[in-house]
Amino acid sequence: MAAFVLLGAALVGCGGGGAPAPVVKEPTESKGPVASRSASPRADAAAGAKPAPERGAGQGAVPTMAPGPGGLTPVYSRRVAKSPKSAEKVVALTFDADMTADQGPRAASGERFDNPQLIATLRRLKVDATVFMTGRWAEEYPDQARSIGGDPRFEIANHSYSHYAFASPCYGLPTVAGPDMTADVQRAFDAFRDAGAVNVVPYFRFPGGCYDDAALRALGPAGVTAVQWDVVSGDAFAKDADAVAEQVIDGVKPGSLVVMHCTRSAAPVTEEAIRRIVPELRARGYRFVKVSELMSRG
């Protein structure tokens, strides 16, 4: 039961619950996206780490945001149009693939932290999407990580190695110490690479969405753009796919970024909700894009 509660905290922390995170700072959008030379976070230089993720051949530069003052990690939460008239009806669906370091035995005993049916449905419906993956998830499901990261429809972004919090308190999650934050993010990138994932982008979602200035400063050397959201799907532990679909459909505006989950055991109706969300938003004129495309059109 205790483990269940911990996972609950992890998923609620992803934005699935009703209560806002106690230390979540309002996302600040600084300076608009700038083209970076490559997807490579600067972590390799700063931490002496292994090579950072790279895009597959011919995929071009991945848009990122300029760092804030003093090298602060920039934070992105949605596309903001210059004027309502220029607001294109695009929306980015994002799926957090959570898994903590201590959930291996549960996975070994049959609990499914993955959701291959969800990925298959996104492919069938031709929906581009961004998966914020923990390194631990990529280690548990390397074939799926490679498949997702080898499909041009998807991109893999970083959701930490083991879903520990980068600011405290954060839904009861264990905390990563400031000096270890960049290495934790790099460890997840390493796991994606070891799984053979190709389309890896230098975006990072804080576990639980919890961050503060100290975390943004500590993560500066990682060279990532932090990605939050403006629409909470409420899919964590939801039993009613219609309610999730309704919440997303009602919340989406041009340029929105939606947080959902890619883990069956704790977000069991997400795939069903997607089957309702996608045709409805398309009927309203929306197009589904990856975060990188959303960020490139700011």
**Which residues make up the interface to Zn ion (CB under 5 A)?**
14, 96, 98
- Phi/psi for 196 (5° steps) reads 95, 15
* Least distance to Zn ion, CB of residue 51, Å: 26
CB atoms under 10 Å from CB of 285, counted, come to 9
Distances (CA, A) of 114 to 101, 118, 290: 15, 9, 20
Nearest-angstrom CA–CA distance, 234 and 244:
6
* Least distance to Zn ion, CB of residue 159, Å: 6
Give whichever of 14 and 258 is closer to Zn ion, judged by the CB atom: 14
Contact (Cβ atoms closer than 8 angstroms) between residue 290 and residue 131 = no
Give whichever of 96 and 184 is closer to Zn ion, judged by the CB atom: 96
Contact (Cβ atoms closer than 8 angstroms) between residue 53 and residue 36 = no
Based on C-alpha coordinates, what's the Rg of the chain?
17
* Least distance to Zn ion, CB of residue 17, Å: 11
Q: Which residue is nearest to Zn ion (CB)?
A: 14
> Distance from CA of residue 192 to its chain's centroid?
14
Give whichever of 98 and 114 is closer to Zn ion, judged by the CB atom: 98
Q: Pick from 279, 285, 266, 9: which is nearest to 126 by CA?
A: 279
Give whichever of 222 and 281 is closer to Zn ion, judged by the CB atom: 222
* Least distance to Zn ion, CB of residue 265, Å: 13
* Least distance to Zn ion, CB of residue 13, Å: 6
* Least distance to Zn ion, CB of residue 250, Å: 23
Q: Which helix (H) or strand (E) holds 279?
A: helix 270-283
* Residues in CB range of 2: below 8 A, 6 or more apart: none
Give whichever of 92 and 281 is closer to Zn ion, judged by the CB atom: 92
Give whichever of 96 and 128 is closer to Zn ion, judged by the CB atom: 96
